[in-house]
Structures are given as C-alpha cells and as structure tokens.
Amino acid sequence: MANHIGPTSTSILIIGCGTWGSSTALHLARRGYRNVTVLDPYEVPSAISAGNDVNKIKGYARADSFSGNEDHETYVSSRLVAESTKAWETDPVFSPYYHDTGHVIAASKPEHIEDLRVREGADKPESGFLALRTAVDFRSTMPKGVLTGEFPSWKGWHKKTGCGWVHARKALTSAAMEAQRMGVKLITGSPAGDVKALIIEEGDVKGARTADGAEHRADRTILCAGATAPQLLDLKGQLRPTAWTLAHIKMTPEEVKLYKDLPVLFNVERGFFLEPDEDNHELKICDEHPGYCNWTSPSQDGGRNTSVPFARHQIPTVSEEGVSQFLRECMPHLADRPFAFARICWCADTPNRAFLICQHPEYTSLTLGIGGSGHGFKDIPVIGGYIADCLEGKLDPRMARTWRWRPETAVGRDWHDVQGRMGGSDSVLNFANVKEDEWTSIAPRL
C-alpha cells in the first residue's frame, strides 16, 4: 500500500471528469483535500461522457442483483439506492435536477412480463404498483393526447411516486463546478487534458502524461475514465466498452406543456422516453437492445478482444427503426417525426455488471473507479464518496468484496453476453458491421 494520505498533504490526480470523476472530485473537496487535479480531453460536460445527456431514469428504492450473489450484491445495491435517493432529494448540488414523476414499466413477451413482475415485486401490495393490462390502462397514466397507441401485447405497472428522472447533464455539470469552486483544479480540453498514458515508474503509477507532453505527477491517481479506461490500463478483460443509442425529436411549445411532469415510460424490450427537455424542447427516446461494441482486429491489439469507443452524433438505421417501432406502439402520432438529434452513448460492462472500485493490486498508488455497466449514473450524488473511501482504505468490506479487482471473472469471457438485456436483435452487435450508408444522416446542430 502507498504511503498514508491526508487531505492537506496528499496530491491527487483524477483521470476523467465524467459522471464518476466529477463526483469523486466533489467528495474529495468536501473532505478537505486541497490538492486535487482532474484531467479530461473535453470541456465540462464532456462530449463523450454517458452522463452528458438531457435526462436519465432514476428508479425507485429497489435492490438489484445482476449475477445472483444475493449475500453481497443485494446489500450493496440496497445501500446505494437508499443513499443516492436521499442525496437526490436533499443535496443542493443535485436536488434541483431530480424529478419525482413516477414511472411506467412494461414488457411485451410473456416470459419478460413475468420476469418483470418478479424482479420488481410489482404484485406486492406494499410495492405501490398499479397493474396495467390494456391500452386504455396505459393511456390513463398520462394526460389525454400523450399516449395514443394500441400497446400491442404490452403488460405493465405504474408507480406514481418515489422514482422518476434526473437532468443528467445539469447534475454532472453542477458536481464539477461545485468541486472547482471548492478548489479542485480542472484541466479540460485537448491537448492539455487529454491523457495519453499513465506514468509508471518503480513499479507504481506516478501520474499521467497528456497529449501536449506535460507530466501531471501526484501521490495518488484515480482512474475514472469510463469506457476509455482499457486504453490506459490492462484491465485483464474486466471491462467491455458497450454503446447504446438515443434520439431526440422536436416538440412544439404546446406539446412541451402537455408532456411536462410525465412519468417515465419504459418497455424493457422496446425502449423508453422521458418528458421533453425544458431548454431545447426535444423529446428523448431510446430504443432498447443489448448494446453495440466496436471490435478491433485481435492482431491489432496483441491478440486481445478490444472494443474501442468512438464519438458519433448519428445512430445506425436499425436503431432508428427501433425508435420508430417503439413510438408506433405507444405514441404513433410522433412516429414519423424526423430526428433533431441522435448519438451513441458509451459505458463499460464488467462480467457481472458490478462496479470496479478498488486499489490496483500491482500499482498501489492507483485507485480504480470504473465499470458503471449501464447503471452507474443514478449514483452520481454518492459514488464519489465510495471511491474516496476506497482511496482512504476504509470502504465497507461488503462493498469492497463486490467491487474488488476480479480478473478471474473474465477468464474465458463471453464477449457477446447480453448480460440480462433484451430488445432489438436480442444480441450484442458490432459497429464494424454497420456500413456507412446504414447510419442516420441528421444535420449537425449549428
């Protein structure tokens, strides 16, 4: 273990100012750390951060276990949900961006409807769910004129309170700006904030080198680089960068008023939508599928399977059709409206979708805060506190066990595992197989 750390004496370098990097910077500043620097190749909010989004679903206080290890994962998830929910409600950095509007959850295939019922505990009286069995039931959850579809084969449940959505971009920016106000140094943009390599000397990480050739040395380094982390560190196959797709359609001022304060609507096979953004009057829709990877040739990367993230403000036309199908089933009056914006959004999956928050076993001055696995944004108010706990060597033992360095779980990894996700082709797709004319061609924003 590296030398003892102290708020006034230890220099800390955070790589990445996305969701987890900004949260970590904020929590360290709140603990009194006075020498914290954050590097990111993009200005806040980072153009490639999954958190740079108009809205994200904030679920209710239900524990998740993605791999069946109930003893530890359910405890960890329950604690995370409880603490993050409290912070969304009470922390002034985040509370302005939480909207407790409720949500509607649904599925279409009988086996997925049953799985949803069991997983959500939806038929338990204390759950607060109202069963939805007909198109009329679904339409009744929102003002007249919002849901106009026939909802073919849909079955679901409506929970009116205790969940909803958060304005992700504003919450992310709020965390980073508050950290900066408290003394954290943000070095963003390329080349000054673009980390190209870790500085490894004497068997340990001493900081990072950026694209301008500068060396940023620190007593401790925290890697919060999200889906790009495997490009900086050999993670032994523990992360699979995976992308999803989203699109926006323009709404009229009258529609924005009608769609205000709606519950989230989420069909686990089709997709979801959240109320229009108040700033640009656009409705965000995501088609549901197990994700895309961008596989490189093994010969290009030492024989390893590597999915390399890239930024693009278009989506494959198969996802465009997925969005349209979702809209035809629930809001057909919007199904033919052109997209105003679209993008791919990267995250990084561990083999069991539990986070990777730990000290590196070889580089003792390096702390990892990665592996969001598609469900990490909702914890932005508190996740940086756990990463700080790990840095200080006082992380809850059950959390430490669940989030430990675990390369054994990646031995013989099935890189095409859908990991409990569904929709679309029910398979993980490869961007390398998408031809150039199989992408949307949405005009860029001015």
d(Cα 403, Cα 406) in Å, to the nearest integer? 8
Can you give the pLDDT at residue 63?
46
Can you give the pLDDT at residue 119?
87
Q: Which residues contact 82 (CB under 8 A, 6 or more apart)?
A: 61
Report yes or no: 263 and 101 within 8 Å, Cβ to Cβ.
Answer: yes
Q: 188 has which bridge partners? A: 40
Segment 350-377 shows an average pLDDT of: 96
CATH code of 103-160+240-349+416-446, in short, is 3.30.9.10
Task: Report the relative pairing of strands 215-217 and 204-210 from DSSP bridges.
Answer: antiparallel
**Angle, CA of 53, 50 and 210, to the nearest 5°:** 120
Reported as a single tens digit per residue, the pLDDT across 289-308 is 999 999 987 645 555 678 99
Nearest to 98 by CA among 90, 108, 107, 110: 90
Reported as a single tens digit per residue, the pLDDT across 178-232 is 999 999 999 999 999 999 999 999 999 999 999 999 999 999 999 999 999 999 9
Report yes or no: 42 and 176 within 8 Å, Cβ to Cβ.
Answer: no
Q: Where are the domains of the chain?
A: 1-98+165-239+351-411, 103-160+240-349+416-446
Backbone angles phi, psi at 395, to 5 degrees: -65, 135
Q: Which residues contact 329 (CB under 8 A, 6 or more apart)?
A: 149, 150, 151, 152, 154, 267, 270
Residue for token digits 């860029």? 444
Mean pLDDT, the chain, rounded, equals 93
Topology match between the domains 1-98+165-239+351-411 and 103-160+240-349+416-446: no
- In the CATH hierarchy, which fold is given to the domain comprising 1-98+165-239+351-411? FAD/NAD(P)-binding domain (3.50.50)
Q: Which residues contact 189 (CB under 8 A, 6 or more apart)?
A: 40, 41, 42, 43
Q: Count how many Cα atoms sit within 13 Å of the Cα of residue 249 in the half-sphere of its side chain.
A: 19
Segment 305-324 shows an average pLDDT of: 95
Answer yes or no: is pLDDT of 172 > 60: yes
* Burial track 201-214 (b if 16+ CB lie within 10 A, e otherwise): eeeebbbbbbeeee
